[in-house]
Amino acid sequence: MSNDNGYLVEVKDLKEHFPVRTGFFEKTMLKAVDGVSFQIKPGETLGLVGESGCGKTTVGRTLLHLYKPTGGQILFEGEEVTENNINEYRKKMQMVFQDPYSSLNPRMIVEDIIGEPLDVHKLYSSKGERREKILGLMETVGLNAEHATRYAHEFSGGQRQRIGIARALAVNPKFIVCDEPVSALDVSIQAQVINMFEDLQKKLGMAYLFIAHDLLIVKHISDRIAVMYLGRIVEIGDADEVYHSPKHPYTVSLLSAVPIPDPKTAKERQRIILSGDVPSPMNLPSGCAFRTRCPYATEKCAAECPSLTDRGDGHMVACWNK
């Protein structure tokens, strides 16, 4: 397998456009993801942040071909992932979904939910081996063996998310897409689940694409952060670098909204309120999509969309004026 650059996952100019009916015989393309590129190394966590509707979940789902990509390339260990070979790659790439309530089958007991990937990929030679693997996975995510014969509705949100994580781990993947895995959980449970993700990564060496809208969580868990706005990545770089010296005006405004636990610092800090509403992805402004809300927008921003350029140490920003 030719993989000279050392990346586990490479995404090149990924596009995902959905046809939306806008009239009796008319359809308009909704550009949910419009030319996204990034790389993830083995064992690394890339955090993907942005407001609701920016396309981050669509990126995660398209990577695993839950949506068929409209354009672009997805490479795993240097090989292109296509519709024809995706089943083979599903052993190596898995997903933990946002809502632990709707992503687990209510008619299946926990043992069968976790064992389903083992059944699909035929990863055991006997019933005993299957059960042994399932109980091992349950122990890994902090569930007791007696939980195996219960149904998902008998568990709390945090426990259900652990079941979902155990199911994702069943095939021993190298890469997991975590789609807002803690946003549906109580704040008290969020930290436990985040810590578990970190422990699992240390133990098993997986890479994550960690999708969230909470910048504090993303900074805590990520090695690098990518910021998305209306289908495009506007800034990507080392987590500390993006957090402490953001370059793109959108990233700056997102970070200004992160709550600070110290009242004195919070009082001194300037909260940046963006003017205007988020444009519809079906009717994007020309040039840079953020220009309608940006305090620095110029005529050049309306004429041409900026591409990501390196501002040093791999800190990439898509902005003409910053």
> Which of 44, 38, 61 shows the shortest CA–CA distance to 234?
38
Domain boundaries, the chain: 9-92+174-271, 101-172
- Tell me how far apart the alpha carbons of residues 151 and 64 are, in angstroms, rounded to a whole number: 27
What confidence tens digit (pLDDT) does each residue in 214-251 have?
888 999 999 999 999 999 999 999 999 999 999 999 99
Distances in Å between the alpha carbon of 225 and those of 5, 72, 91, 100, 205? Answer: 20, 21, 26, 25, 19
Fold of 9-92+174-271: Rossmann fold (3.40.50)
Express each pLDDT in 62-110 by its tens digit. Answer: 999 999 999 999 999 999 999 999 999 999 999 999 988 889 999 999 9
Rounded to two decimals, the pTM is: 0.93
Q: Is the pLDDT of residue 2 over 80?
A: no
E strand intervals along 23-78: 27-40, 45-49, 71-76
Q: What is the pLDDT of residue 1?
A: 46
Residue 13 CA to residue 35 CA, distance in Å, equals 4
Which helix (H) or strand (E) covers residue 9, if one does? strand 9-21
Sign for the CA dihedral angle at 41, 43, 48, 49 comes to negative
